């Protein structure tokens, strides 16, 4: 079995991982980064990115990630395709194993595996991803100005997304499978008071339709009851707001997580409960989940690693 030694192993890519690789490589740490299941992270399934500083004309998520990736490699980061399938943080150096059977011994680790949006499980979701389907209203809402959109979900996140979109879109439909909202009372009232938000209670999404782009959703009202009714809702955008799942399963034995599976960090730092292991990006951020905040935390993690290694030389 092949084995590798590194001062810093970065697990996962995206804006957090690539930025961490950029900063650690410029500090002559020569990091080793494994890109994971989705090289470039969730941003690679977003078509247009207009809110990342430095791109006045906008760019695509894929191009943005490729730019940061190339920048990290330019300064000496070792970026490899592959998935870390197993870790052991009980000893130093830390141990990790790749899906190719390579064992890595690392003096420090940055976890940047991100969080995956939860989907309804419809085949159409992937078909129209980036073509009308989105899991981030803040990222993509601007493209639906004066258009009709729908948000799926009944919690605080769904209500927040619906309210955000209501300031951009002409009409917002909040699709709720139950007969009530799970959001806080204040959030519920804000949604119900907004004139261009219509809440569709007791409604499930059966599918999506459209030629080249999303054109609408197939909905079922009062499913499984005598009042069951099927209808189509013409919309331009379909936003999923049923939660995110942080990609932390392989770390849970060693790393302290919150009740939703996000990595807990110490104070304003990116340090975890295991000294020498740091977390950056959406894997430790249930609140903001933006490319720029992920990149910023990747920078912080790299600086934390640099200080850690200097103090343990």
CA dist 2 to 96, 105, 153, Å? 12, 11, 46
CA distance 107 to 117: 31
Residue in 139, 159, 236, 304 annotated catalytic: 139
124 catalytic residue (yes or no):
no
Angstrom distances, CA of residue 182 to CA of 162, 178, 224, 225, 238: 14, 9, 22, 22, 20
Annotated catalytic residue within 8, 136, 282, 285: 136
Cα–Cα distance measured from residue 132 to residue 144, given in angstroms and rounded to the nearest whole number: 9
Contact 170, 196 (CB under 8 A): yes
Q: What is the dihedral of CA 79, 83, 88, 93, to 10 degrees?
A: -20
Closest CA to 16 of 299, 305, 313: 299
For residue 103, count other CB atoms closer than 10 A to its CB.
Answer: 15
Distance CA 93, CA 108 (A): 8
User: Is 140 tagged catalytic?
Assistant: yes
Helix or strand holding residue 190 (H, E): helix 185-193
- Which residue among 8, 124, 140, 285 is the active-site one? 140
Our answer to whether residue 159 is catalytic in this structure is no
198-232 exposure pattern, b = at least 16 Cβ within 10 A, e = fewer: ebbebbbbebbebeeebebbbbbeeeeeeeeeeee
CB 23 within 8 A of CB 298: yes
What residues act catalytically? 136, 139-140
């Amino acid at each position: 079995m092949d084995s590798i030694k590194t001062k810093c192993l970065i697990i996962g890519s995206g804006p957090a991982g690539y930025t961490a690789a950029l900063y650690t490589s410029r500090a002559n740490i020569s990091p080793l980064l494994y890109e994971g299941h989705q090289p470039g992270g969730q941003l690679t399934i977003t078509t247009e990115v207009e809110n990342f500083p430095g791109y006045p004309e906008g760019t695509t998520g894929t191009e943005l990630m490729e730019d940061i990736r190339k920048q990290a490699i330019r300064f000496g980061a070792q970026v490899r395709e592959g998935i870390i399938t197993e870790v052991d943080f009980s000893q130093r150096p830390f141990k990790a194993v790749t899906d190719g059977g390579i064992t890595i011994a690392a003096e420090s680790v940055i976890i940047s595996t991100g969080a995956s949006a939860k989907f309804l499980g419809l085949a159409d979701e992937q078909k129209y991803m980036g073509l009308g389907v989105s899991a981030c209203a803040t990222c993509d809402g601007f493209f639906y100005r004066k258009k009709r959109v729908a948000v799926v979900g009944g919690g605080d996140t769904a209500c927040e997304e619906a309210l955000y979109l209501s300031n951009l879109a002409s009409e917002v439909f909040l699709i709720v499978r139950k007969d009530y909202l799970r959001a806080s009372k204040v959030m519920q009232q804000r949604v119900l008071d907004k004139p261009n938000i219509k809440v569709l209670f007791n409604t499930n999404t059966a599918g999506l339709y459209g030629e080249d782009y999303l054109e609408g959703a197939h909905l079922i009202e009062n499913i499984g009851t005598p009042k069951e009714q099927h209808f189509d809702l013409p919309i331009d955008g379909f936003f999923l707001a049923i939660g995110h799942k942080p990609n932390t399963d392989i770390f849970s034995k060693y790393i302290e997580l919150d009740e939703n599976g996000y990595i807990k960090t110490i104070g304003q730092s990116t340090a975890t409960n295991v000294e020498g292991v740091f977390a950056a990006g959406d894997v430790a951020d249930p609140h903001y989940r933006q490319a720029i905040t992920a990149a910023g935390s990747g920078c912080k993690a790299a600086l934390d690693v640099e200080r850690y290694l200097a103090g343990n030389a």
